Amino acid sequence: MPASTLRTVGLLVVASLGVAFAHTPTWATDVLPTASLPSIFNGRDLTGWQVPPEPYWKVVDGVLVGQSDDAKQGSMLYTEQAYGDLVVEGEVRFGGDIDSGIMVRKPELQLQIGVSRSLKRDMTCSFYTGKYPEEARAPRAAELLKAGEWNRIRLEAKGDTFTVWLNGEQVSQYKNATYAEPGPIGLQIHRGVMMKVEFRDLRALAL
């Protein structure tokens, strides 16, 4: 093969590798890969969770389902274990005008899933602190979110820094020393909304 042809092939291989690496999920090279995170949902029942009095949480075919009824009451489902520094990850599926979230630490910090009641638009992967600070928002989430399909969310809390990935891409990072104490992981059904949200492959690791 002529030297010029070899050089061309070599350049094409390098370019192909560059594209492949550019599309590798951010956490694929993390020191804490998904498989190393212990499961916090067994796919059969709510063992390991503090079951609330509202009958809004159930397990269906290996999926954790949160669904309100005509009363539109709110409900929270919390883990029995409290976490300080942690990584929590899982898949979520929803559609339409739902308002949910993942809660960590004390005082409670919410990672929004779905539509904000106040802003009237989807704020998935942004942090809610009683408002949505600009520096806590996830502007790229809209382009990565797959409506009505399974989406993988990872939240890492280390000290005062909270980092979020959506479907393998980092979409937000928020620093706030207020949310410092260990607390359970919480999942939300917002009051006043007819909604259904589904979770699966929920995992968490205390750091």
Same domain, 171 and 151: yes
Structure tokens, 126: 């942004």
pTM: 0.85
Strand ranges across the sheet with 183-189: 49-50, 75-83, 183-189, 99-104, 109-114, 127-128
Same domain, 166 and 105: yes
Same domain, 190 and 100: yes
Same domain, 39 and 15: no
**Residue 158: strand, helix, or coil:** strand
Q: What is the pLDDT of residues 75-117, one digit of tens each?
A: 999 999 999 999 999 999 999 999 999 999 999 999 999 999 9
Q: What is the pLDDT of residues 8-26, one digit of tens each?
A: 434 343 334 343 333 334 4
Q: What is the pLDDT of residues 68-78, one digit of tens each?
A: 999 999 999 99
Name the DSSP letter for residue 129.
Answer: S
**Mean pLDDT across the stretch 185-189?**
98
Same domain, 69 and 100: yes
Same domain, 122 and 152: yes
CATH number at residue 94: 2.60.120.560
Q: Into how many domains does the chain fold? A: 2
Q: Name the band, by pLDDT with cuts 50, 70 and 90, for residue 52.
A: very high
Q: Name the band, by pLDDT with cuts 50, 70 and 90, for residue 32.
A: confident
To the nearest whole number, what is the mean pLDDT of the chain? Answer: 89
Same domain, 3 and 52: no
pLDDT value of residue 4: 47
Q: Name the band, by pLDDT with cuts 50, 70 and 90, for residue 2.
A: low
Same domain, 85 and 146: yes
Structure tokens, 158: 């280390």
Cα 46 to Cα 59: distance, rounded to the nearest angstrom: 8
Tell me which residue of 186, 152, 177, 155 sits closest to 166, measured CA to CA. Answer: 152
Q: Name the band, by pLDDT with cuts 50, 70 and 90, for residue 120.
A: very high
Same domain, 88 and 164: yes
pLDDT value of residue 142: 94
Same domain, 193 and 94: yes
Q: Identify the domain containing residue 15 by its residue range.
A: 1-25
Residue 201's CB is within 10 A of a number of other CB atoms, namely 19
Same domain, 19 and 95: no
Cα 180 to Cα 85: distance, rounded to the nearest angstrom: 9
Q: For strands 99-104 and 86-94, give the pairing.
A: unpaired
Q: Name the band, by pLDDT with cuts 50, 70 and 90, for residue 199.
A: very high
Same domain, 35 and 20: no
